[in-house]
Structure 1
Amino acid sequence: MPHLWVAIPDSSLSDEQTKRDKSIKIAQFARACSIFRVKRIYIYHDPLSQFEKDDPVLLRTVLRYLDTPQYLRKALYPRMAHLEFAGILHPIKAPHHKPAQDIKTVKAGDVRTGVIAKVKGQLFVEAGLGSLIPFDGEGFDGKKVNVKFTSPHPNLRAMEATDLDIFEYWGYEVKEVPSVVKLVSSVDNTTVIVASRKGTYYKNTEAKLAERIKGSENVLVVFGAPRHGVHEILAKEKSSTRLEFMINMFPNQATETVRLEEAVLGTLAILNSSLLSKN
C-alpha cells in the first residue's frame, strides 16, 4: 500500500470566526487523516485568500499536538495561547498513542514514542513509563523520537526505531511548503490527485487511477481553500503544471459548496474503499 499524503492550504481556517471553532476544525482534519492512515500533511501557501496572520501557526501547532501521545504533551508543549481549546478536542487514539504501562511489562522489541532527555551528559528517553530509560544513539534534549526497547526490565534500554520496526499506523508528520506548485513538482514517484468540483467525475477515471497507484510509492491528495479551488490557485501562480488527475469526488452535490473538512473526510473515505485498501 502506498503512503498517503494530503495537502491543505494555510487559509484552511479562513471561514471560521473564533479560535474555538478553528481548533475544532483542525481536530476534524487530524481525525480524518488518522482514520485513513495519512502519513504526511502538507500545508501550502494560498496566495488568493485573506486570513488571520496567526492561522497557519495555529493549524500546524494543533495538528502536531493532536498527533503527540498524551504522556508527552506536557514535555513538548508548554502552556500557549494556540492550545487554549485543546482540552475540548476529540483525541485521535491512534496506535502510537499508547496507554500508561507498567515498566516491568515492557519487552525487547516493543516500540513507543518518546522524547530525549539529557541528564549529566547522558541521553535518556521519556516514554511514559514512569522513569527515564537509557538511550543508545544520538539526539538532543527535547527531540521527539520513536524508540525500540532493546532489552527488558530491569535492564531496559532503548534505541531509535526504524520504519522496519513499526508495523502499525504511527501517525502523521506536518510539513509546510511555499506553494502548491513547488509541492507538486518536488514529489517523486507520487500519484497526485487534485480534488476539484471542476474535475472529471471519479468513476470515469477510477480504473486509470488505480493502475497508476499500483506503481507509485505515494499518493498525494491536494485540496483547495474554503473560497478558492486548486485550479484558481494554480492560475494565480501562473503554473503550467499539468495535473492528470483532477477529480470531482462529489458529483451531483446538493449543497452550494462542500466544506474543506467534509471534502477531506469524504475523499479519503472514497479512495480508501475503492483503491488504497486494494493496493
Structure 2
Amino acid sequence: MGSKKREKQENGTISKKPKQLACAEESCTPSTSGRGYTVSIAVAASCIENAQNLELATLLAGQIARAAAIFNVDEVVVLDDSPAKQPGHVSSAAALFARVLQFMETPQYLKKALIPMHPDLKYAGVLPPLDAPHHLRSTEWGPYREGVVRRSAKGEGSFIDVGLDKDAHIPQASLMAARQGVRLTLSMGEQPLPATVQGQQVLRGQLALPTDPRERGGLYWGYITRIAPSLQAMLEQCPFYGGYSLTVGTSERGERTPACQLDLGAFRHLLVVFGGPQGLEYLNTCFDQGSRTIRSEEAILISLAFLQPAVTAATAPPQ
C-alpha cells in the first residue's frame, strides 16, 4: 500500500487506488461452503528429546508445523511423554516443542508483539514459514485477518494492528473483552473500508470468532497448540465442543487397510495420535516399509497423506 494517498468518495469507499492490495490467491478464494469438522494431531514430545541438539530439535518441530499446515490440521497436541518429566511440571522437550509450534503458527507481523524472546527460539527464525492463508502479506487483502490490540479505550473502541499501513478499528460495542496485546480474528470485508476515528486513519473491521474463517469461509486458519501431560488429559481436555468424535492411532504394526478402502464415516472432531518409538496399535499407514523405523516427522507426513482422501470424503454430522 505504501504511503500514497487515495481519492475517496463521500461514503468513505475507495474510488481510486494508486497501489491496490492484491487478493491473496489462496486466502481470498474460499470454498463455496465452510468446513464444519476439525482435524487434530497428537505428537509425543519424546521425538524432540531424542534430537542431538537445539538446532536439530527446532528443525524437527518446524517440519511438524509445516506438515500440520500442509494438511489443514486445526490442533496440535504435544503429548508430554518425556521420562525425565517431574510430576506436575512440563518437560523441557514439550515446552520447546510447543514454543516452536506457536512461533510458526503466528503471522509474521504479530510475532514481535505476541512471541516473547526465549532461548528455545534461538534458531526458530531460520525455519521456513508456514505461508498459511492467515499469514497475509502487507500487499494482500483477505476477508479475515489476524491482529493484536494496540490500544483500547472506552468510547473509542479498539485499534488493531493487522499488518497493514493502517490499523483496523472495531467499535467498543463489538469488542467484548479485548485488552492491549490480545490476539483477535477480524472480519475485514471484501475490500478495504477506510474511516477516520479520533483523527486517525483506520480500516473498518468487525470482531469475528477464530473459527469463522473455517466454518463460514472454508479457509484454513492455522492450528492451536496445547500440551497434554497424559493420554487421559489429551482426550479429556479437548477444546472442541463435545470432544473428539473419532480417534485414530498409527503404527507399523497396526491394521493394514488400503487408503482407497478406508472409510472414517461421519465425524466432527478427528484426532490422529502419533506415539513414541513403541507406537500405537491401530492403523498402519505405510505398508512394507524398507527402513526398520519411521521417524515422527516422516510418519506425520505419510499418515496425513494416507488419511486425506478419507478425511475429505467424510461429512460432519449436524450439531
Provide the TM-score with structure 1 as the length reference.
0.82
| Shift of residue 118, structure 1, vs aligned partner | 2.2
C-alpha deviation, 1:29, in angstroms: 0.3
Equivalent residue number for residue 236 of structure 1: none
Q: Residues 68, 185 of structure 1: CA spacing in aligned structure 2 closer, same or farther, 3 A cutoff?
A: closer
CA contact (8 A) 1:5 1:221 kept: yes
Q: Say which of 133, 139, 151 aligns to 2:178.
A: 139
Spell out structure 1 runs of 4+ moving beyond 6 A: 49-52
1:181 counterpart residue number: 232
Partner of residue 152, structure 1? 193
Larger Rg: 2
More helix by proportion, 1 or 2?
1
Query: Which residue of 296, 303, 316 maps to 1:260?
Result: 296
Q: What SS is found at the alignment partner of 1:275?
A: helix
Q: Give the counterpart of 1:77 among 105, 112, 115.
A: 115
Instruction: After superposition, give the CA deviation of every residue in 1:58-106 in whole Å (9 maximum; x if it has no partner).
Output: 111110111111111111123321211122101110111001138xxx6
Structure 1 residue 185: Cα displacement: 5.4
| 1:221 counterpart residue number | 272
**1:169-224 deviations in whole A, cap 9, x for unaligned?**
11111112221233235653521110012211132x974x51xx332102110001
Cα 1:267–1:206 shift into 2, 3 Å: same
Alignment gaps of 5+ in structure 2: 1-34, 197-202, 315-319
Q: What 5-or-longer segments of structure 1 have no aligned partner?
A: 232-245
Shift of 1:119: 4.7
Question: Could you tell me how far apart the structure 2 residues matched to 1:113 and 1:159 are?
Answer: 12
Q: Tell me the TM-score normalised to structure 2 length.
A: 0.72
Q: Take 1:48 and 1:230, find their aligned partners in 2: how far apart are those partners?
A: 18
Q: Is the 8 A contact 1:148 1:165 kept in 2?
A: no
With over 3 angstroms needed to count, the CA separation of the structure-2 counterparts of 1:140 and 1:230, relative to structure 1, is: farther
Which of 145, 158, 167 is residue 123 of structure 1 equivalent to?
158
Q: Which residue of 1 aligns with 2:133?
A: 95
